[in-house]
Amino acid sequence: MVITALNTYQLVKDLRAVGFTDEQAETLTSVLRKTQDIDLSNLAAQDSTNRVIAAMKADFAKFKADIFTAMVWQTVVIVGAIGN
């Protein structure tokens, strides 16, 4: 995406030409300028989001396997204790 510099003078002039008051034109121009200054660099890209989701799924799968293994060993210990 290409972001060009906002010509605030021209924007205010154009808004006045179509009937905006000075205050309305300047306020709208200020809001538009502020939105252009927002730092979007911290937004996650879809690719990085997909990688995080895949890593989380792998972690959950390992956790599930670990829990299953622990349950099997616990069952073995209980059965062994009952049998003695």
pTM of the model: 0.44
CA distance between the termini of the chain: 73
Look at residue 3 and tell me whether its pLDDT is greater than 90.
no
**CA 24, CA 31: separation in Å to the nearest integer?**
11
Query: Which pair of tokens denotes residue 7?
Result: 């010509």
Q: How would residue 10 be classed by pLDDT, with cut points 50, 70 and 90? A: very high
Please report whether residue 59 resides in a domain. no
Q: What letter does residue 44 receive in the DSSP assignment?
A: P
Q: What letter does residue 19 receive in the DSSP assignment?
A: T
Number of domains the chain is built from: 1
Please report whether residue 30 resides in a domain. yes
Please report whether residue 17 resides in a domain. yes
